[in-house]
Amino acid sequence: MELCFAPLEGITTYTYRNTHAQVFGGCDVYYAPFITPSDNEKLSLKSLRDIVPEKNRVERLVPQVLTNRGDSFLKFEEKIRELGYDQVNINIGCPSGTVVKKNRGADFLRDPEGIEQFLDRVFEKSELKISVKTRTGFSSHEEFGRILEIYNKYQMESLIVHPRTRADFYNGEPNMELFCRAYKESSNRLCYNANVFSVEDFKKIEADFPNLSGVMIGRGAIANPAIFREIKGGKPLEVRELIEFTNLLAERYLEVLGSEVYTLHKLKEIWMYTMWTFPEEKKILKAIKKSNKLPDLLGAIKGLL
């Protein structure tokens, strides 16, 4: 069962991935945040910079594409094959408003016939191994029966299911009854994604669904970047290495972004998740939120020692 790092837009870029792999490791596959081909289907070097091989030092990386057009997908495929990739992930689950208003991501789930036409074209023409990351519906879980029926038509590398609707965003509990249905009825290898925040969460999924191809962890891995290592029996997260990890990220963000302000914003976003691991440390969380300069944040987190 593979341990996969979910793509989080704006967070799990190559800078974060490389640093995570260096400091913590344990992750079998990293999925890059989605790339969206422009309306004219052109892909600039800038749009592909996060996945160019020379910038990535992780062992396995899978690019993700966000599109609802077969021609755009095939243009994207052409570019990433030139970069040496043999696998791609299709995003049919992102709940972001800016994505949904363009009938992409989770909004595409409202158009099962459109998904079918899109996947027909993709699987007819593509030479890549293809996985799909999906939610179980747009506004209702009742939509999932038809969606799963469509997915079962195709031979995928894996089907990654986040058992929430778009309407749920990340609220409430995942619908495990519906995921159980996918586990029983999917013709494809299945990967679980949602609410894995601890080794115990992982072990429950593993026990309930022993034949999964993988488990994908996103927010839980930002909150505890040692979670993959811990699942594999390695040592628990240590505060000192977490601070060293943050300092290394700060150095690399400063180099890439060329701005202390942007670096501060990046680290603040990451630490809003990381502080889930330290729920009792209210004063430190407050200090992180109030940080106006990078040294303020780096100083605040030392309070965890």
Same domain? 49 vs 146: yes
| pLDDT the model gives residue 47 | 79
Q: What is the mean pLDDT of residues 276-293?
A: 97
Last residue of a domain, one of 197, 231, 265: 231
Same domain? 185 vs 134: yes
Same domain? 196 vs 52: yes
Same domain? 164 vs 288: no
Find the domain containing 294 and state its range.
239-304
Give me the half-sphere count of Cα atoms (radius 13 Å) on the Cβ side of residue 255.
8
Residue 57 to residue 74: CA distance in whole angstroms: 26
| pLDDT the model gives residue 43 | 59
Same domain? 41 vs 70: yes
Q: Which of 146, 175, 150 is nearest to 163 (CA)?
A: 175
Q: What's the total number of domains in the chain?
A: 2
Same domain? 266 vs 184: no
Same domain? 216 vs 119: yes
Q: Which residue shows structure tokens 């990381």? A: 274
Q: Which of 116, 106, 121, 112 is nearest to 70 (CA)?
A: 121
Last residue of a domain, one of 201, 231, 261: 231
| Bridge partners, 35 (sequence order) | 65
Q: How confident is the model at residue 265 (pLDDT cuts 50, 70, 90)?
A: very high
Same domain? 196 vs 243: no
| pLDDT the model gives residue 149 | 98
Token digits of residue 29: 């596959």
In CATH, what number is assigned to the domain containing residue 49? Answer: 3.20.20.70
Same domain? 190 vs 131: yes
Tens of pLDDT along 87-109?
Answer: 999 999 999 998 998 889 999 99
| pLDDT the model gives residue 37 | 86
Write out the DSSP string of 43-93. --HHHHGGG-GGG--SS-EE-EE--S-HHHHHHHHHHHHHTT--EEEEEE-
Tens of pLDDT along 182-214?
Answer: 999 999 999 999 999 999 999 999 999 999 999
Residue 249 to residue 138: CA distance in whole angstroms: 36
Tens of pLDDT along 33-91?
Answer: 999 986 554 556 667 999 999 999 999 999 999 999 999 999 999 999 999 999 999 99
| pLDDT the model gives residue 45 | 63
Same domain? 91 vs 36: yes
Same domain? 176 vs 36: yes
What percent of the chain has pLDDT above 90? 95
Could you tell me the strand order of the sheet in which 214-217 lies?
61-62, 29-31, 2-5, 214-217, 190-193, 158-162, 129-135, 87-92, 64-65
Last residue of a domain, one of 188, 206, 231: 231
Dump strand ranges (E) for 107-225: 129-135, 158-162, 190-193, 214-217
Cα–chain center distance at 54: 21
Q: What is the mean pLDDT of residues 133-159?
A: 97
Same domain? 98 vs 75: yes
Ramachandran category for residue 165: left, alpha or beta (phi over 0 → left; psi -120 to 50 → alpha): beta
Q: What is the mean pLDDT of residues 214-234?
A: 98
Angle (nearest 5°) at CA 182 between 179 and 187 = 155
Residue 26 to residue 230: CA distance in whole angstroms: 8
